[in-house]
Amino acid sequence: MSSIEKIVVGTRGSRLAQVQTRLVVAALQQRLPRLEVEVSTVKTGGDRDKASPFASFAEKGIFVKELEEELLAGRIDIAVHSLKDMPTELPDRLTLAAVLPRESPLDSLVSRENKLLSGLDSGARVGTGSLRRRAFVLRKRPDVEVNEIRGNLDTRLRKVHDGQYEAVVVSQAAMLRMGKASSIAEVFPAAECLPAPGQGAIAIEARSDSEAVLELVGFLDHPYSRNEVVAERSFLAALGGGCRVPVGSLATRKGEEFEIRGDISAPDGSRRIAGEMRGQVKCVEDAENIGVALGQELLAKGAKELLSW
């Protein structure tokens, strides 16, 4: 049992971030009923600037940077993140301490009158803050108008309800965790829309020298989910990591084999380079290697041209 009596957990202030943090806190307190848990809410750069397009941010990790600063300063012991928000390279002295069992990694559509993407009127306004989702929508429906949308999940859904948008594309995991599954009009299969690397996974970040903290949260780590997201993030890193282009990836177990699919698209959906790779994954290093191999394969197919789009 851990000798730690109190732990300070850092998180963003959005409702979704708070819900995800409560999942972590509940798991910790179920395992250690006497553990005192303090939640520290930190406002990140992405939270402060709610108007600028995501692609305009020069630095990586706009939703994690301030939390990492709190970790390094010792003001919090762990940070809870949506894993897809984390850069592929972590700062020195920080480590990915745990990856919780992954929720659905897929994307979903919320629309007025519960219309499918194929059923939207020509010229319909579709909102997304993701270049990857933008490319997918335009690939399927080049006749709709895809606009940048910022704000938390509630804000995005309200803009559909108020008629500012006919539809928005959002994470299915976010909808499920927020209890809004009934509002989903359509879930896009990975065969049509590969998700962002790490989408659907909750990550716990900690200082790499905090052995007691790492031991405390270690039981939360789900090896299968970790291998999946490590492969996806390694694929992204092999392509350049912080590139401002639409990159999708999904790793899954297929019986005794491990499969990873990845793609990179032009932001307007006009071009797409995709690939997949299968192999045995028995440890994190295997997952990392297969992700890198797929990234190198796509680069050999000409992905560099799309990286500089």
Residue 125's closest CA among 156, 98, 94, 171? 156
Q: How many CB atoms lie within 10 A of CB 232?
A: 32
Q: Read off the DSSP letter of residue 166.
A: S
Q: Read off the DSSP letter of residue 200.
A: T
What is the rounded distance in angstroms from the CA atom of residue 126 to the CA atom of residue 154? 16
Q: Read off the DSSP letter of residue 300.
A: I
The answer to whether residue 143 is catalytic is no
Calculate the CA 163 to chain-centre distance: 27
Which residue in the list 47, 77, 85, 107 is annotated as catalytic?
A: 85
Which residue spans within the chain are E strands per DSSP? 6-11, 36-41, 78-82, 94-99, 107-111, 125-128, 145-148, 167-171, 186-188, 202-207, 247-254, 257-265, 272-279
Catalytic residues: 85
